[in-house]
Amino acid sequence: MAQDNPFAPGWDLDPAGSYIRFISTKNVDGKEVVETHSFATFSSVIEPTGDVKIVVKLESVDTNNDLRNVRMRFLFFETFKFPEAIVTTKLTPEMASGVQSSGSSLMTMPFNFEIHGEARQVSTDITVTAEGNDRIVVNSARPFRFRVAEFGLQNNLTKIAQTAGGFQIVPEMDVIFQLAFNRRAGGFGTQVVTAAPAQPAQPVQPVALETQGEFSYEECTGRFEILSETGNIYFSSGSARLQPDSRFVLSEITDIIKRCPRLRVLISGHTDSDGTPNYNQRLSEQRAQSVVQYLIREGIDPLRLYSAGFGEDRPMVPNDSPFNKGRNRRIEFSQFR
């Protein structure tokens, strides 16, 4: 720390000593349930300039439950459009001067936080511990309060609550972290790592990491159900023409269908209650068929695909608000029996 540039030649994240977790609270049958989740994959580096960047792969969210991970990825974070959360900040020599070798220092750290297409300038209190001259450990001195409405995630949280049992979820989450850095021996570049489990002495494969190869029957049907809830397949008003933004979730659907080779898939269209029943019936059929044609173009065997339209007859929620109507205008995917 006594050298002219305390950040030279750069510092790389040590995965074995690092974690990022968030704590959520929900109300189930009048009882408060607190759950701790984590991210399996993230990267960080401190450059010689003092610039810091932390990149969290949101698809690696780990709730210790496979289908809940899928809900978080597709319904809450919408990782098919927003795959990363990014934290950036700038360290100064004055900040480093307060950290003595083998000592700790408490400081307030301002940073820029980007997630779900939104960015905010925020700050949090951290404790920086120097473990000798070549290793530092940064801990959250107190949880960072993440308010979902500030980042356009309130409606997504509502989707999660409605699909997982209708319970209430507190729209604020506490984030805690530990980031360990080792001084770089030489060279530059960001090291991407997979975070170690909470107990490094008992290494396990994080359940957040998607399984490879074919899905089981339960994994297939669960993913079809969840992806049917995203609401991210878009059509122009009164039209069956797919809008370009639909490709994000449709690419995920294509991958899942390819990894469920023994299942035939029913693609069903649904509308809200605006318009006449006959018009909505025809429109739902045409939209379902548009999705079938897209999947065929992406290499799915047409003999595995079936389409149907149900118009306004099967609403997911009451058609009593613009948000609910948007949820009822949907394409669903299920096993065709």
pLDDT tens digits for range 122-168: 999 999 999 888 999 999 999 999 999 999 999 999 888 877 776 88
Topology adopted by domain 217-335: 60s Ribosomal Protein L30; Chain: A; (3.30.1330)
Quote the pLDDT of residue 215. 93
Query: What end-to-end distance do the CA atoms of the chain give, in Å?
Result: 68
Distances (CA, A) of 15 to 49, 60, 150, 235, 288: 22, 15, 30, 43, 45
pLDDT greater than 50 at residue 336? yes
Domain with CATH 3.30.1330.60 in the chain: 217-335
DSSP string, 234-271: -B-TT--PBPGGGHHHHHHHHHHHHT-TT--EEEEEE-
Handedness of CA 193, 194, 197, 202 (dihedral sign): negative
Average pLDDT for residues 309-315, to the nearest whole number? 95
Q: Is-contact 307 203, C-beta < 8 A?
A: no
Quote the pLDDT of residue 206. 45
Quote the pLDDT of residue 32. 92
Closest CA to 72 of 15, 116, 29, 33: 116
pLDDT tier for residue 49 given thresholds of 50, 70 and 90: very high
User: What's the rounded Cα separation, in Å, for the pair 75 and 249?
Assistant: 11
Quote the pLDDT of residue 182. 96
Instruction: State the DSSP code for 153.
Output: -
Domain with CATH 2.40.128.110 in the chain: 11-194
Average pLDDT for residues 263-281, to the nearest whole number? 95
Three-state SS annotation for 121-145: EEEEEEEEEECCCCEEEEEECCCEE
For 32-41, 52-61, 105-114, 157-166, which range has the lowest pLDDT when averaged over its residues?
157-166
pLDDT tier for residue 108 given thresholds of 50, 70 and 90: very high
Quote the pLDDT of residue 94. 83
Quote the pLDDT of residue 203. 36
What's the chain's average pLDDT?
Answer: 88
User: What's the rounded Cα separation, in Å, for the pair 207 and 62?
Assistant: 6
Average pLDDT for residues 241-259, to the nearest whole number? 94
Closest CA to 174 of 119, 125, 104: 125
Which tokens is 329 given? Answer: 């205008």
96 by DSSP, 3-state: which? helix
Phi, psi of 307 (to 5 degrees): -130, 155
- CA 64, 68, 70: angle at the middle one, nearest 5? 110
Quote the pLDDT of residue 1. 44
What is the amino acid identity at position 238? G
> Residues with Cβ < 8 Å from 60, sequence gap 6 or more?
39, 40, 41, 42, 194, 206, 208, 209
Q: Which CATH number fits domain 11-194: 2.40.128.110, 3.30.460.10, 3.40.50.300, 3.30.465.10?
A: 2.40.128.110
Quote the pLDDT of residue 188. 42
The model's pLDDT over 172-206, given as tens digits with 9 standing for 90+, comes to 999 999 999 999 985 444 454 454 443 333 333 44
pLDDT greater than 80 at residue 82? yes
For 91-100, 212-221, 289-298, which range has the lowest pLDDT when averaged over its residues?
91-100
Closest CA to 221 of 337, 64, 302: 337
Average pLDDT for residues 317-330, to the nearest whole number? 91
The model's pLDDT over 123-133, given as tens digits with 9 standing for 90+, comes to 999 999 998 88
Pairing of strands 118-130, 84-90: unpaired
Closest CA to 12 of 232, 163, 179: 179
By percentage, how much of the chain surpasses pLDDT 90? 71
